[in-house]
Structure 1
Amino acid sequence: MTEASATVRRGRPRNEKAREAILDVAMGALLAHGVAAMNMDVVAAAAGVSKATIYRWWPSKETLAMDALYRTWESAPAAPDTGSLRDDLRNLLWPWTELITRRPYGRVIAGLLGQVLTDPDFALTYRARFLDQRRDHGRMILQEAIARGEIPARTRIETVLDMLYGPIYHRLMHGHAPLDRAFVDDIVDIVLDGIRPPTKPEPCHDTTDPETP
């Protein structure tokens, strides 16, 4: 072994640096133009790599887009356990909602969903990355609430998760109204009003004097 080969190289390996450069450029292109209009020649040139290098790691622009988006969204903080279903759900939804509203991610998601509908293999990977992990956390929160007696054991957890996330995606995709903290709080309150058992009314005490005519 030569002295040169024994020297520990500083910094990241060249391949990793190239990969991150590609993902950075791709994310910028996706936010600016969407998935369909992203040009792989332009991405390669801006990242300082050949197009063959990109296709060696990503077989399609959709898989590159998925990796670029995942790298950005995985930075959303984990929700702490507060012991309150309402607070746990707010802490689950708001940090992620705040993250996805910082930049125009709706056009990226729209492009990826188009591929989900036509490519079963891509759909499996997409769901594992963007749906399953987040739903697993939400599922755990609801199961713990059932164990505490906050909501009934018969609660349809998968439907509740759709009701929580669906409105956020709806506004993200259509852009017709703001995705803000008040909206997230409304979602949680409305969903909980629907699944929690009704509060028993206070008994009515007749204060009328029975001998009064």
Structure 2
Amino acid sequence: MDAAADRVRTRSGGRSEQVRRAVGEATLAFLAEGQFNFTMVDVAARAGVGRRTVYRWWPSRDDLLVEALSTHVRKAPTVIDTGSWERDLRTLAHKLAEFASDPIEIAISSIMAGGQNQVFNALVITQWEPSMNTWREFVRRAIDRGEVRAECSPSTIVNSLLAPMFLAPLTLRRSMGEADVDALVDLLLSGTGPAAGGNREGVPLVGPSRN
């Protein structure tokens, strides 16, 4: 799997890049339509690419899924770190809410929630890891600046931000509205800021590690 991904990454620019983009988008289109049992021939036809090319560059369905998920995740919001934890967190949160409401993302989340294909779930998690690392590092910088308490866990904060946004389209059949996003951000700010305390037992409200 990794070798196949590496092989795809080495082809960039010109016709090769066009083929890669077409195949990734075609595969994502099937996922967005709820069609998970597509074949490599189906993808080739939809992408307008020769079957031999698809089989040569992406020898298995998993390779196609890696390409598709990589194409999708590259569109995920990035952090614009201006040095203001509150402003930057709020900006990122609204962008993430919009991304989570994309039909492709909803379809991917639905497939994962169904738990019927653990290989697919693992591929999604792997493709998201670079973005997750970026967002966790964003929290660490806020901790280093003293805007977030040192005992707070970047992973817990990021997960607390993401979970409602990606679950809302699945459970409520709608994306989080702007007011909902702002309320979530306010909750995270109040629970992680320097002045925030623990619960009645003195236990921090956020995870104890910085991982």
TM over 0.5: yes
Identify the residue that residue 191 of structure 2 maps to in structure 1. Answer: 194
Identify the residue that residue 6 of structure 2 maps to in structure 1. Answer: none
2-side partners of 1:157 and 1:17: how far apart? 37
- What pairs up with 1:45-124 in 2 under 5 angstroms? 45-111=45-111, 118-119=118-119, 123=122
**Displacement of 1:177 after TM fit?**
3.7
**Residue 145 (structure 2) pairs with residue 144 (structure 1):** no
> 5+ unaligned residues in a row in structure 1: which ranges?
1-10, 201-213
2-side partners of 1:21 and 1:174: how far apart? 31
2-side partners of 1:134 and 1:144: how far apart? 15
Return the letter of the residue paired with 2:191: G
RMSD of aligned alpha carbons:
3.1
1-side partners of 2:195 and 2:60: how far apart? 51
2-side partners of 1:194 and 1:116: how far apart? 36
**Displacement of 1:50 after TM fit?**
4.3
1-side partners of 2:19 and 2:174: how far apart? 39
Identify the residue that residue 22 of structure 1 maps to in structure 2. Answer: 23
2-side partners of 1:110 and 1:60: how far apart? 23
Larger radius of gyration: 1
- What pairs up with 1:5-16 in 2 under 5 angstroms? 12-13=14-15, 15-16=16-17
**Residue 152 (structure 2) pairs with residue 170 (structure 1):** no
Q: How many residues align?
A: 185
TM-score normalised to the size of structure 2? Answer: 0.70
2-side partners of 1:153 and 1:134: how far apart? 22
Tell me the SS of whatever aligns to 2:14. coil
1-side partners of 2:188 and 2:151: how far apart? 15
2-side partners of 1:163 and 1:154: how far apart? 16
TM-score normalised to the size of structure 1? Answer: 0.69
- 1:19-59 deviation line (CA, Å, top 9, x unaligned): 3322232222221234x233433222233344453233334
Q: Does the CA contact (< 8 Å) of 1:92 and 1:138 recur in 2?
A: no
Change (3 A) 1:105 1:47: same
Tell me the SS of whatever aligns to 1:150. coil
Q: Does the CA contact (< 8 Å) of 1:18 and 1:49 recur in 2?
A: yes
